[in-house]
Structure 1
Amino acid sequence: MITFEQVRVQYADADRPVLDGVDLTVPEGELCLLVGPSGSGKSTLLGCVSGLVPHFTGGTLAGRVTVDGRDTRTHRPRDLADLVGYVGQDPLAHFVADTVEDELAYGMESLGLPPEVMRRRVEETLDLLGLTELRDRAPGSLSGGQRQRVAIGSVLAVHPKVLVLDEPTSALDPGAAEEVLAVLQRLVHDLGTTVLLAEHRLERVVQYADRVLLLPGEGRPPVLGEPAEVMAQSPVHPPVVALGRAAGWSPLPLSVRDARRRAAPLRARLEGRTPPARAAADGAPVAEAAALAVRRGPVAALRGVDLVLRAGGITALMGRNGAGKSTLLGALTGLHKPSAGRVDLAGLTPHRARPAELVRRVGLVPQDPRDLLLAETVAQECAAADRDAGAEPGRCRAVLDRLLPGIDGRLHPRDLSEGQRLGLALAVVLACEPPLLLLDEPTRGLDYAAKARLVTALRALAAYGHAVLLATHDVELAAELADRTVILAEGEIVADGPTAEVVLASPAFAPQVAKILAPFLTPGQVAAALEES
């Protein structure tokens, strides 16, 4: 169905090609998972299949890419629209209609399908992705995860033979991610759809893959093979694979079920051992929400929220899509006026404060770091952040070098990787040295190495005295980083306590290792315990 023949892609002004010598075939009706470090060329390879490369992105494409016999060099994306459905990392970039229902119908209208066919497929897609209650909502009013499901639905409704997905579950809560992956499984198994997807959260998807394509980066050739074989050599791998490596298992497990079946001897070795407990933050309160309620139009987004954040603490804010996580972050930064209750930032009321004063109390890194980056170069961005903060020149750049050393100041922010953009946005916010730092889905688009660097950076900030609150669907990040976890549901706090207690009590929010070797939460904790034994 998909064939690459000696494909080489190089963008203008790039020192070396992004892809070089790619030869592979993806048969019809397979789910092929694309993995690799950030910057290894995953999005470029997906773009070659959809026709976006080189027709939209520019650059030079050598070799040949065919999809069901159509050469993407001679077929533009519009010529492949009936064959290839593509969903990129930014759902908002896909939307053109005013309502969810119209968005699902738009692609079919463009292809001239009969109205009765469009009506039936819209209803089927709404049911498949759990979007029925959102059918009359504007796409721009939805949460990040809801937007992701609508974007996927808009291409599914066309019934393409090939589905190309870039980070399809990155903005979804665990339950919604399982629903989307179940839909993809049905498309592959029942309809013979060919699915090619890139995903950094491998713990969610690797067990469903028929084959894995690894792009190692740094000029090394791609590796295509069985999932367990590729995971054995991949620099990026899920926690269950890291656990298998630490335990010396072969072949490596790909799912929690695989690992549980083999874990009895490992449980015996770990009997009587527990991971060290994380101390709760005992610093001064830097933010407090009391009986907080927020309405967004007709929707009661928050109801009776009580929350105290203390200096030195790292809190994970979790919950399904639409639970109110982003609204709570917005209320803490003054973006949303409470309809009841109050928010206090050590004597400052956010929605009444002047912006110049507010940025010195609280900093927010949104889901898309590009929302904070307005300058033409990294150096200009850092200089502007210093001016806005009233700081000495060089402070923002010093923070950036501490987070991600070596970024060229002449680069445009849009030319940075997802992890680099996040680091730059963090540096911009931290130039004001706010005691409270808020992050909304900070690991979206980050590979495991970039996530590890983020964990190190946030731990250092907490040790320095910052309070950190991160809204996330990444249960592995919460297990690795947070000393406290708060779970929201329908705008209300339903759980609040030490991370180990909260995640172990909830199968939906438990990390992979905890499902196998509770009370251990991470592969690192297991490896440390094995070294001591």
Structure 2
Amino acid sequence: MIELADVTFWYHGQPEPVLADVTLAIGEGELVLVTGRTGAGKSTLLGTLNGLVPHFTGGHLDGTVAIAGTATSSRPPREFAHLVGMVGQDPLAGFVTDTVEEELAYGMEQLGLAPPVMRRRVEETLDLLGIADLRRRALRTLSGGQQQRVAIGSVLTMHPWVLVLDEPTSALDPTAAEDVLATLARLVQDLSTTVVLAEHRMERVIPFADRMLYLPGDGGVVDGTPPDVLKDMPIGPPIVALGRLAEWEPLPMSVRDARRRAESFRAALRTTTVNRAPAPAARAEPLLTGSGIVVRYGATVAVRGVDLDLHAGTVLALMGRNGSGKSSLLWALQGSGPRQGGSVRAAETDPARLPAAGARKVVGLVPQNAGDLLYLEHVADECAAADRESAAEPGACRALLDRLAPGIDPRAHPRDLSEGQRLALVLAVQLTASPRIVLLDEPTRGLDYDAKAELARTIAALAAEHRAVVVATHDVEFVAAVADRVAIMAEGEIISDGPAAEVLSGSPAFAPQVSKILGGDWLTVADVRAALPEAVG
């Protein structure tokens, strides 16, 4: 179905190729996971599969990429639309209509399908992805996760032979992600659709994958089954890290498999306790207090009378299914978003009443799409503007950026940076104003495990400086590593709020892998390693 023969690809102006002498074949009805560190070339590899690379990206491609025997170099990408469906990292950037139902039908209209066929496929796709209640919603009013599912659905309705997805679950809550992956697995098994997807959160995809392609960053591709490839990879999900600690051979690929082999670990851990730093005590006066916050979009109530206190030195994780109101609550706290009821007090004032420069010194917010805050031509320009707008010493923003992501070319265009580098730049821009409260909305989207570990260290440093940090995310493994406190939202309300170990370990949906395997308050492999310095086999 897919054949790459001696493929080498350079971007213009780059001294080294992103892909070098790549040869591989992917057959009909395979589900293939593509992984590797941020910037290793995963999106480039996916883009070659329908000709977007190099037809639209530019650059130089040697070798041959063929889909169903047709070389992508022989035709423009639009002529592969019936063969290859592509879903990019940013769903909103790919929408061309106004409502969910129209977006699901658009691709079929371009293929000239009959109206009855289109209607049937739209209904099937709405049910497959669990978005039937969104059919008439405007796309711009959807949450990031809802937009992600609509983007996948708009491609599924065309029934492509090959489905290519770049970070398809990055904006989805754990339950929605599992539903989408189960749908993809059903397409593979029942319709022999070939699915190729890139995903940093490997723990979600590995149980479904037939093959794994690992890009180490030197232009090559390591091809094999997930256990074989993961055995020698420097990065991996928590279940693999736990398997390495326990010296299990072969490495477990599912929680069920790991539980069957973890009895010795569980027995040893029954006589010890979690060696985790205690959560900071809440101070008498919080840095920010929100009371009765209400946010509406037309007739839709996104936040319903929420009360929330943020204390210095505490990292709060805000979780909940897609559309539960997390982003709306963050924007209401920051002051830039709508708020139809309730009050917010920080630094003796309401941030919404402050001018932009003053508000940044009180509450800094990094949105889901960090690049939305970047508007200048060069990294150096963004840093200089941040220094001016925050009345900081020249070079302050660049110094912060070098701490977060050293080595970024100051002449680079912000849009050309990797997801992790863009996030670091926006975070540096916001921190230049030295806000006491830092709000991060889905900060781990597009980040590999190493980049997330660096972000975790940054968040810990902010908490150590007695700032209040809020992380709204679906990444349960990241929450397990960074959060002191977890609040879970549903239908605009906070339904659970407490210490991270208590809230996460008691939730089937939000428990991290280590907790599912070992039980109790064990959340991370670091917890286990600290309690058992010598691995128990």
TM-score (norm 2): 0.98
Give the % identical residues. 61
Partner of 1:46: 46
What SS does the aligned partner of 1:285 have?
Answer: coil
Per-residue CA deviation, residues 117-176 of structure 1 (Å, 9 max, x unaligned), is: 000000101111111111111111100000000000000000000000000000000011
The answer to whether the 8 Å contact 2:51/2:72 transfers is yes
- 1:337: how far off? 3.8
Partner of 1:484: 485
The aligned runs of 1:404-423 (5 Å cut-off) are 404-423=405-424
The answer to whether the 8 Å contact 1:160/1:193 transfers is yes
Given candidates 522, 525, 528, the residue that maps to 2:527 is 525
What SS does the aligned partner of 2:430 have?
Answer: helix
Partner of 2:34: 34
| One-letter code aligned to 1:514 | S
Matched, 1:356 2:345: no
Partner of 2:164: 164
- 1:218: how far off? 2.7
| One-letter code aligned to 1:144 | G
User: For the residues of structure 1 that align with 2:252 and 2:6, how far apart are their CA atoms?
Assistant: 33
- Runs of 5+ in structure 1 lacking a partner? none
What SS does the aligned partner of 2:245 have?
Answer: helix
Matched, 1:513 2:520: no
User: For the residues of structure 1 that align with 2:534 and 2:69, how far apart are their CA atoms?
Assistant: 57
What SS does the aligned partner of 1:24 have?
Answer: strand
Partner of 1:203: 203
User: For the residues of structure 1 that align with 2:199 and 2:29, how far apart are their CA atoms?
Assistant: 19
The answer to whether the 8 Å contact 2:99/2:135 transfers is yes
The answer to whether the 8 Å contact 1:35/1:236 transfers is no
Matched, 1:229 2:224: no
User: For the residues of structure 2 that align with 1:338 and 1:76, how far apart are their CA atoms?
Assistant: 47
What SS does the aligned partner of 2:45 have?
Answer: helix
User: For the residues of structure 2 that align with 1:117 and 1:280, how far apart are their CA atoms?
Assistant: 59
The answer to whether the 8 Å contact 2:504/2:511 transfers is yes
Q: Aligned Cα RMSD in Å? A: 1.1
| One-letter code aligned to 2:454 | R
- 1:532: how far off? 6.2
Matched, 1:186 2:186: yes
The 10-residue stretch of structure 1 (380-389 or 233-242) with the greater mean CA deviation from structure 2: 233-242
The answer to whether the 8 Å contact 2:275/2:531 transfers is no
User: For the residues of structure 1 that align with 2:75 and 2:524, how far apart are their CA atoms?
Assistant: 47
User: For the residues of structure 2 that align with 1:336 and 1:433, how far apart are their CA atoms?
Assistant: 21
The answer to whether the 8 Å contact 1:369/1:425 transfers is yes
- 1:336: how far off? 3.0
| One-letter code aligned to 1:525 | D
The answer to whether the 8 Å contact 1:37/1:235 transfers is no
The aligned runs of 1:118-517 (5 Å cut-off) are 118-219=118-219, 221-277=220-276, 278-283=278-283, 284-517=285-518
User: For the residues of structure 2 that align with 1:355 and 1:255, how far apart are their CA atoms?
Assistant: 48
The answer to whether the 8 Å contact 1:36/1:234 transfers is no
Per-residue CA deviation, residues 93-112 of structure 1 (Å, 9 max, x unaligned), is: 11011110000000000000
User: For the residues of structure 1 that align with 2:480 and 2:78, how far apart are their CA atoms?
Assistant: 44
- 1:281: how far off? 4.2
User: For the residues of structure 1 that align with 2:167 and 2:2, how far apart are their CA atoms?
Assistant: 19
Per-residue CA deviation, residues 63-88 of structure 1 (Å, 9 max, x unaligned), is: 00011111011122101000000000
Partner of 2:101: 101
The aligned runs of 1:60-71 (5 Å cut-off) are 60-71=60-71
User: For the residues of structure 2 that align with 1:386 and 1:203, how far apart are their CA atoms?
Assistant: 40
User: For the residues of structure 1 that align with 2:214 and 2:101, how far apart are their CA atoms?
Assistant: 37
- 1:341: how far off? 1.7
What SS does the aligned partner of 1:391 have?
Answer: coil
User: For the residues of structure 2 that align with 1:71 and 1:319, how far apart are their CA atoms?
Assistant: 44
- 1:338: how far off? 2.7
| One-letter code aligned to 2:528 | V
User: For the residues of structure 2 that align with 1:344 and 1:66, how far apart are their CA atoms?
Assistant: 59
User: For the residues of structure 2 that align with 1:57 and 1:301, how far apart are their CA atoms?
Assistant: 38
User: For the residues of structure 2 that align with 1:513 and 1:435, how far apart are their CA atoms?
Assistant: 33
The answer to whether the 8 Å contact 2:292/2:343 transfers is yes
- 1:502: how far off? 0.3
| One-letter code aligned to 2:44 | T
Per-residue CA deviation, residues 464-486 of structure 1 (Å, 9 max, x unaligned), is: 12110010000001100000000
Partner of 2:14: 14
User: For the residues of structure 2 that align with 1:385 and 1:150, how far apart are their CA atoms?
Assistant: 35
The answer to whether the 8 Å contact 2:275/2:530 transfers is no
User: For the residues of structure 2 that align with 1:281 and 1:97, how far apart are their CA atoms?
Assistant: 49
User: For the residues of structure 2 that align with 1:114 and 1:383, how far apart are their CA atoms?
Assistant: 55
What SS does the aligned partner of 2:397 have?
Answer: helix
The answer to whether the 8 Å contact 2:379/2:413 transfers is yes
- 1:271: how far off? 2.2
User: For the residues of structure 1 that align with 2:75 and 2:515, how far apart are their CA atoms?
Assistant: 48
| One-letter code aligned to 2:253 | L
The 10-residue stretch of structure 1 (407-416 or 84-93) with the greater mean CA deviation from structure 2: 407-416
Per-residue CA deviation, residues 13-32 of structure 1 (Å, 9 max, x unaligned), is: 00100000101011100001
The answer to whether the 8 Å contact 1:280/1:484 transfers is no
The 10-residue stretch of structure 1 (340-349 or 494-503) with the greater mean CA deviation from structure 2: 340-349
User: For the residues of structure 2 that align with 1:342 and 1:86, how far apart are their CA atoms?
Assistant: 44
User: For the residues of structure 2 that align with 1:275 and 1:266, how far apart are their CA atoms?
Assistant: 13
